[in-house]
């Protein structure tokens, strides 16, 4: 028997430092980033700004709650202040802080809520901001007019109701979106001595939505589309010349969804798709934009997804996942990629389409930035919380990744230097369960998952277990520190998790389960549980709990209506009825039909209620026997609250033990980005439910 170590506790959520948004200055000599920490009393997160120079981190702000925005120059960082709740200012306050020392100073006070801001030249900037189509130039109002409009709105009871004419009319995390557009703004500084000395000019039409923009010299490239009553997925590409302020379309066929794009020396490259082969979750191909045509770069094959879809509950705001560099006159695109069960930094030559992986690690590279030759990145390993690391790309070479998806990359490499120690002390003398891989075969597929074992695991004893199912479904679990799983392992559970068909990281064909929800995925999960029990027969089969959120919540609802093998379940932000979900959710009208196997060209056609209903757990609720806890948020517009309400009520009236917890003021991101005390209550509820039903 080994020495008993300290345990991972539910309340550790209040201790973790959540790292966000690393950003280099123009010459790459310094980078800044955010550190978010839970504020228990205010039930929110406080953000401070840190910087790293000569490999040494130091804190820039402590009393001013703000986030990194952009670099004005090599020594001056612009940060975006979060206004306290008791302040009524609804615009943007930007502060300037010098790396040479001194307090942050108010730099700009603007009457719009700005998105991403980029510097064009001295005193000239570009940004997006949300406007209302019916009052697109409200930003020009004087303070007197602005106050008068607010009073009139109250007097006319305008705040008492919403009028919906378009779909979606709300968005998860953003509330009501009806009539709200994302506009492009040019911002010009006309008085260096005044924080209000800026001139704002809206560039795009009131009924146009801007999706993304890039700078290329004196031109701004942007994608977007005219607002429509229903989403059509397609977008076009435009340029704005900042000298004559003329907009020109360079791709306006409106027949492709431009997922992202890059520009260098007047040449535009887009990652785009038509959704016709694998539906909504299809991976885009690479195209060059030439003479209003998209010319496919044939050598580029999206076998691994761009972006990081490795899940974790110890990361909040994220940060950059890609960046374009000029290497010897070539446009080279560095991007995070999801490779089976981990993330890598990939290098894509936009001219040739050649893809090489330059940094391939188990776990999760959450975000990065690169200037010249050095990456600064945030990384989560299986045995460590997030920290910032640097690595010289010239020491990395390239990694050839086996497309058979059966390899384990290293956890660390020799040339990767850990820069920060924000979280290191929190795991000293703490038992952190090591992910132990289990390979298994199911439905003709080679799959694998992991188990976390309790401290001093003894095969001669009997243990309860938890099966945890990820969301998406096009996301992945990996060998990363996952707080909730470590909590359960610390409480004596064997924790099981896996990536079944439908998960990301293995290409579109593997990720495609349209029309097969509750079929092959369900069988994969049951085969995985069987494989774990075979490997660890000390698991008590009468005391296996199950949980999952989003798609994992759907699967939880499906499991409790199709098997009695689990002693209890916790269904989080779930789907129970594809008919209702499809016509309530912010993504429902296309996501629901798509995932239930309805053809792409008929999402908005005839209502195929049979297909939607056949894949709905609610249809099979007469067979439910498993005690089930439901957890949902009242502002979850992705998987709306009625999905849990229907399932809970249907099970309760049929005599099944249920309990439902509704979190007010939270959305679909409760488990990852919810208010700290709500996250603690959530995990206490689930853990308590499990412990009740294994006793």
Question: pLDDT, tens digit, for every residue of 615-660?
Answer: 999 999 999 999 999 999 999 999 999 999 999 999 999 999 999 9
Q: Are 685 and 629 in contact (CB under 8 A)?
A: yes
Given a cut of 90, whether residue 324 has pLDDT beyond it is yes
Query: Which strands make up the sheet holding 364-371, listed edge to edge?
Result: 364-371, 374-381, 384-392, 417-418
- Which of the listed CATH numbers 1.10.287, 1.10.10, 2.40.128, 2.60.40 matches domain 115-296? 2.40.128
- pLDDT top residue among 363 and 155: 363
pLDDT band at 372 (very low <50, low <70, confident <90, very high): confident
Give the whole-angstrom CA distance, residue 394 versus residue 358. 9
> What pLDDT is recorded for position 2?
56
The distance in angstroms from the start CA to the end CA of the chain is: 25
Given a cut of 90, whether residue 281 has pLDDT beyond it is yes
> What pLDDT is recorded for position 402?
54
For 649-652, the CB contacts below 8 A with 24+ separation are 650/576, 650/618, 650/621, 650/624, 651/560, 651/621, 651/624
Give the whole-angstrom CA distance, residue 675 versus residue 53. 32
Three-state secondary-structure class, residue 426: helix
CATH class of residue range 425-577+616-694:
alpha beta
For 144, the enclosing helix (H) or strand (E) is helix 143-155
The domain segmentation of the chain, as residue ranges, is 115-296, 425-577+616-694
* pTM, entire model: 0.96
Three-state secondary-structure class, residue 152: helix
The stretch 342-359 carries a mean pLDDT of 94
Tokens 């309990």, residue located: 659
β-pair type (539-549, 568-572)? parallel
The stretch 375-385 carries a mean pLDDT of 96
> What pLDDT is recorded for position 397?
75
pLDDT band at 487 (very low <50, low <70, confident <90, very high): very high
């Amino acid at each position: 028997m080994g020495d008993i170590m300290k345990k991972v506790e539910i309340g550790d959520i209040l201790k973790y430092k959540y790292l966000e948004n690393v950003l280099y200055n123009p010459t790459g000599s310094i980078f800044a980033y955010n550190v978010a920490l839970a504020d228990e009393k205010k039930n929110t997160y406080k953000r401070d700004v840190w910087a790293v120079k000569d490999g040494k981190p130091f804190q820039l702000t402590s009393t001013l709650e703000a986030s990194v925005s952009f670099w004005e120059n090599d020594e001056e960082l612009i940060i975006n202040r979060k206004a306290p709740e008791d302040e009524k200012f609804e615009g943007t306050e930007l502060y300037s802080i010098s790396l040479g020392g001194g307090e942050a100073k108010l730099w700009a006070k603007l009457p719009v809520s700005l998105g991403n801001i980029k510097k064009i030249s001295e005193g000239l900037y570009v940004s997006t901001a949300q406007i209302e189509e019916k009052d697109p130039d409200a930003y020009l109002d004087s303070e007197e007019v602005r106050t008068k409009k607010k009073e009139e709105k109250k007097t006319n009871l305008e705040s008492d109701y919403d009028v919906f004419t378009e779909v979606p009319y709300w968005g998860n995390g953003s509330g009501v979106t009806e009539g709200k557009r994302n506009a492009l703004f040019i911002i010009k500084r006309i008085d260096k001595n005044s924080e209000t000395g800026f001139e704002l000019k809206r560039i795009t039409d009131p009924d146009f939505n801007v999706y993304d923009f890039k700078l290329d010299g004196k031109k701004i490239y942007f994608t977007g589309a005219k607002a429509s009553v229903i989403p059509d997925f397609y977008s076009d590409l435009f340029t704005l010349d900042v000298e004559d302020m003329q907009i020109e379309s360079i791709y306006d066929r409106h027949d492709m969804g431009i997922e992202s794009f890059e520009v260098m020396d007047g040449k535009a490259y887009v990652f785009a798709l038509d959704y016709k082969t694998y539906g909504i979750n299809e991976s885009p191909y690479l195209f060059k934009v030439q003479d209003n045509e998209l010319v496919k770069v044939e050598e580029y094959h999206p076998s691994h997804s761009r972006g990081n879809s490795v899940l974790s509950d110890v990361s909040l705001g994220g940060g950059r996942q890609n960046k374009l560099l000029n290497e010897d006159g070539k446009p080279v695109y560095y991007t995070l990629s999801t490779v089976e069960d981990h993330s890598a930094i990939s290098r894509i030559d936009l001219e040739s389409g050649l893809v090489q992986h330059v940094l391939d690690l188990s776990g999760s590279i959450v975000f990065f930035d690169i200037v010249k030759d050095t990456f600064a990145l945030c990384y989560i390993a299986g045995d460590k919380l997030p920290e910032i690391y640097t690595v010289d790309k010239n020491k990395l070479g390239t990694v050839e990744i086996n497309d058979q998806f059966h390899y384990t990359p290293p956890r660390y490499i020799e040339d990767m230097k850990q820069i920060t120690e924000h979280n290191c002390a929190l795991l000293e003398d703490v038992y952190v369960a090591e992910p132990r891989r289990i390979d298994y075969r199911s439905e003709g597929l080679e799959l694998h998952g992991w188990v976390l074992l309790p401290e001093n695991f003894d095969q001669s004893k009997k243990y309860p277990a938890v099966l945890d199912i990820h969301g998406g479904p096009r996301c992945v679990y990996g060998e990363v520190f996952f707080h909730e799983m470590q909590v359960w392992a610390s409480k004596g559970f064997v924790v099981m998790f896996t990536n079944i068909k439908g998960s990301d990281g293995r290409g579109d064909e593997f990720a495609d389960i349209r029309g097969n929800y509750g079929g092959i995925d369900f069988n994969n999960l049951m085969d995985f549980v069987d494989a774990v029990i075979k490997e660890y027969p000390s698991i008590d089969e009468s005391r296996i709990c199950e949980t999952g959120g989003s798609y994992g919540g759907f699967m939880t609802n499906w499991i409790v209506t199709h098997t009695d093998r689990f002693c209890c379940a916790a269904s989080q932000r779930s789907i129970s009825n594809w008919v209702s979900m499809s016509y309530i959710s912010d993504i429902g009208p296309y996501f629901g039909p798509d995932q239930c196997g309805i053809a792409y060209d008929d999402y908005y056609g005839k209502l195929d209620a049979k297909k939607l209903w056949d894949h709905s757990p609610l249809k099979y609720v007469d067979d439910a026997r498993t005690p089930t806890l439901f957890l949902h948020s009242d502002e979850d517009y992705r998987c709306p609250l009625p999905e849990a309400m229907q399932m809970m009520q249907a099970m309760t009236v049929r005599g099944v033990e249920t309990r439902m917890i509704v979190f007010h003021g939270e959305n679909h991101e409760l488990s990852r980005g919810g208010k700290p005390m709500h996250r603690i209550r959530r995990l206490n509820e689930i853990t308590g439910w499990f412990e009740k039903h294994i006793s």
